[in-house]
Amino acid sequence: MMGSTAYAQSDIRIYVNGMRLNDDVIVSNDRTYVPVRAVSESMGADVLWDGTSRSIFITFTEDEMIAQLVSDVSSSVVSIIGNYNSTGGTSGYNNPTVHGSGVIYSSNGYIITNAHVVEDLRNLTVVLNDGTMLPGVVLYSDKEADLAIVKIDKIGLKPIAMADKNTILSGKTAIAIGTPISMSMRNTVTKGIVCGNDVALSDSYYKLIQTDATVNPGNSGGPLLNTKGELIGINSSKYASVAIDNMAFAVPVDTVQYVITQYERYGRVMRPQLNVTLEQSWEAKIGLPTKKGITVKITSNPLLKVGDVITDVNGIEVRSIADWNEAIKDTYNGQTLDIGITRNGSNIRINVEC
């Protein structure tokens, strides 16, 4: 029988959760072996060796996992601070500072946050996790998506990892990091679950993630994460009421990626200009399932008439205003829309240049 040869090698790089292990590895028969303790502890586990029974006990706990996750991700989370001009005059620049949160998505200083965080903000300063303060510039702000892109003059930053939107499921753990209330609470953490996905509020342009992770003023613009430390959304709003508890919302990662990609390609989000006012059914307004489309209420577009009911756009069914905007987000090529409508009882299709 032929024997096998094992080689210890130090030039092979092993990364666990984005962190490089410093231990040498063993290569044997085209397989790579890594020390159990090195991998396990890098993932937040306790490793215990029992010499009597010659057993290794690896214990993962939620506390250790989340603590390790926060430690790994915090360098990608920033605070955003500035003066708010509430009056529109120069005296307003001396108002007390206001702040929010943001997420580094590119190593050369690009940050994503909420549009409402940076709106009317003067003397914008970005505070990194290590306390470094740098001036920031708002490159683009999109009120419809409630997202904005901020740039600082620094390289070598750690960008956040983006989750696959298909892995965001109701019931999964959600972790929020941000700067609530006070700058002394930078990168503090709350934990909950994803309560709902594809949530369409009556006033939301796109669909949102609902979470019960506690979100307070200052958390806006910060990350909502999964247990891998990946970005699933940007915390944006919450319901505040005596009768409502821990109901917060985040802009999903696919909308975040869409806005970033559109900005990088065009300098802004490209949206069709149809020159129409649309209205959704009463069922859609209160969140009931419905097969009804959305109705054209006002139009100056010669191809669309008042009373037309839009049932799909570019092959995607439309049942609400949020459905319409999501379909545009997913399919609009910057030139035309293929729209299915019901007009006077007949189903027709029109191709609109916009």
Residue 167 structure tokens: 């892995």
Q: Is 117 helix (H, G, I), strand (E, B) or coil?
A: helix
How crowded is the C-beta side of 241, counted as CA atoms within 13 Å?
7
Q: Are the C-beta atoms of 103 and 112 separated by less than 8 Å?
A: yes
The residue behind tokens 């505040």 is 240
Indicate the pairing of strand 15-16 with strand 19-20: antiparallel
Nearest 5°: phi and psi at 288? -80, 145
Cα–Cα distance measured from residue 292 to residue 323, given in angstroms and rounded to the nearest whole number: 12
DSSP state at residue 160: P
For residue 300, give the amino acid letter.
Answer: S
Let me know if 146 is a catalytic residue: yes
- 351: its two tokens: 């191709």
Q: From CA 157, how far away is CA 67, in angstroms rounded?
A: 21
Under DSSP, is residue 102 helix (H, G, I), strand (E, B) or coil? strand
**Which of the following is catalytic: 76, 116, 237, 312?**
116
Residues paired with residue 79 on neighbouring β-strands, in sequence order:
101, 127
Q: Which of 146, 308, 312, 323 is catalytic?
A: 146
Distance of CA 125 to the CA centre of its chain: 22
List Cα–Cα distances, 95 to 113, 121, 123, 124, in angstroms.
22, 11, 11, 13
Dist. CA 353–CA 226, nearest whole Å: 40
Separation CA 89–CA 105 (nearest Å): 34
- Tell me, yes or no, if 203 is annotated catalytic: no
Catalytic, out of 101, 220, 236, 320: 220
The catalytic residues are: 116, 146, 220
